[in-house]
Amino acid sequence: MRFIRSLLLLLYFVLYTVPYATACFIAFPFMRPDARYWMAAGWCKSTLWVVRWLNGIRYRIEGMENLPDGPAVLLSKHQSAWETLAFPALMPKPLCYVFKRELLYVPFFGWALGMLHMVNINRKEGKHAFDSVIRQGKKRLAEGAWIIMFPEGTRTPVGKQGKYKTGGARFAIETGTPVVPIAHNAGHVWPRNSFTKFPGV
């Protein structure tokens, strides 16, 4: 049954995401960057509802009252795809992800990233790449967005610990921005590289 429900989720992604993305591409050129973000976040919100209803993946949040009113740098564990779509749906401020520039060249997905004004990093620039992240990040913070990074750099299985990169902490220090650490257990219900999703909180 879990496999069938996971298959139905894939069908949802195909049947719902493609027309939603098409609508975004048509509308984005005529919208402000913040409006583009919340339109994209609408897809995230509806997807959270679908995985709750279809796959039994629920969530409980602790500590939302500790979020700052002003700028913030969110540093989160990265275990699955769930948190990538959940954070824009749940956070009260627009989120600005930091990602490698190569993703900008991925058809449709990369184009959307470009129009959402996220922060991209060109690893070929070596030590100067971080300077570019600081410049872009400061601008996004001034616009009211929160910067979000995954310090381990990639999805890490539950119970494992990757090598933490220092970019997030360095960015927070350079910009004088408070850090919000985020822990979660999404890897239990949406495991890395697993087609099957599992019910749980």
Domain ranges of the chain: 2-188
**Tens digits of per-residue pLDDT, 94-153?**
999 888 888 778 776 677 777 888 888 877 777 778 888 899 999 999 999 999 999 887
Element (H, E) at 31: none
The pLDDT of residue 58? 95
DSSP codes of every residue in 88-153:
HHH-SS-EEEEEEGGGGGSTTHHHHHHHTT-EEE-GGGGGGHHHHHHHHHHHHHHTTPEEEE-TTS
Grade residue 154 by pLDDT with cuts at 50, 70 and 90: confident
User: CA angle, 110 as apex, 108 and 116 as ends, to 5°?
Assistant: 100
Helix (H, G, I), strand (E, B) or coil at 84: helix
